[in-house]
Structure 1
Amino acid sequence: MSTSTGDTPADSATPAELKAAAADFTWLLNRFAKETAGVVDAIAVSSDGLLIAVSELREQADSERLAAIVSGITSLAAGASGNYGLGGLNKVIIDLEGGHVLVSAIGSGAVLGVVTDKEAKLGN
Structure 2
Amino acid sequence: MRGIIFALLGGACITLQGVANTRISTDMGTWQAATITQLTGFILAALILVFVRDINLQGLKQVKPMYLAGGAFGAVIIFSEVTAIQQIGVTFTISALLIAQLFLTFLVDSNGWFGVVKQKMKLPQFLGIALMVTGVIIMKL
Provide TM-score, normalisation by structure 2.
0.28
Greater CA radius of gyration, 1 or 2? 2
Instruction: Give the structure with the higher percent helix.
Output: 2
Provide TM-score, normalisation by structure 1.
0.30
